[in-house]
Amino acid sequence: MQIEKKIQIAAAMLALGLCGAANASNLDLTTVGSSGTLNGALFYQADPRPTGTGVIDPFLRLQNTGTETGLNTSLDTPNQPILDDKPGIWTHDLALSSLNQVTVNGTAYYKFLLDINQTAASPLLTMDTVKIYVTSGAFTTLNSLNNFISSIQNNTGQGKNPAYDMGANTVTLNYSLNSGSGSGDMFMYVPVSDLGTDTTGTKYVYLYTQFGVPNASNDGFEEWAASEAPPSPTTVPDSATTMTLLGMACVGIEGLRRKIRG
């Protein structure tokens, strides 16, 4: 069964109160097929290797032992990582306009994937923070970025107004359910109505996340990815243009042949 179909069934069950995976403070995704909602977003334990080549694009990797905190940004560098980010091509700014929309039971969502890494001996990991912000442009200086992070951590200014906030809830994940790094462990569906849309390419999505309380991080990096819209199809010349180009190529080849013979 396709993952979107499973999400539709889970969402319908949640709406009817038949799938109460979440309690007042914790969403338990430690069993196969478990799911729940937190502040309007759908959370679903992912099937093994659900990503699909070219569909999922990682935008944040973070790693630390115990607790770890990350924020996707292109300002990360190997000599000056932000928080517990792992700098590189898989940690970067994320344009809102690049995100693909999926529909679940008539509601439009943006789809995110989380891939975790834990030891076999201690496979559980707690995700205790997800805050998503939409900004009018990308951060271009470390000073502005650090001020933004400080506002999140102190719940002041811009940090007080995330487009989506998991709140004081937690999510418990189980690394042993899937086949290792790269297979994916959780889908998160955030309503499009929370983040909005962008046709100008000027808005950016910043995901601030934390893991480790109470189940600590103990192995490799955690990785967030997004389902992105497919690239625009390559424009194919019409028949008249194709024939014109072909004729020009033939003329050029004939001219070259005559030059060589001369």
- Domain ranges for the chain: 3-237
Q: Residue 139: what are its φ and ψ, rounded to 5°?
A: -75, 130
Question: Residue 201, SS3?
Answer: coil
One-letter identity of residue 101:
Q
Query: pLDDT, tens digit, for every residue of 33-78?
Result: 999 999 999 999 986 555 443 445 799 999 999 999 999 999 999 9
Q: Which residue has the tokens 């912000």?
A: 133
Q: Is pLDDT at 107 greater than 80 in this prediction?
A: yes
Residue 83 to residues 37, 63, 65, 187, 214, Cα–Cα distance (Å):
28, 9, 13, 24, 19
HSE of 27, CA atoms in CB hemisphere, 13 A: 27
Best CA proximity match to 35, nearest among 50, 25, 26, 45: 45
Q: Is the dihedral of CA 170, 174, 177, 180 positive or negative?
A: positive
Q: Report whether pLDDT(261) > 50.
A: no
Separation CA 195–CA 205 (nearest Å)? 8
Average confidence (pLDDT) over 148-161: 97
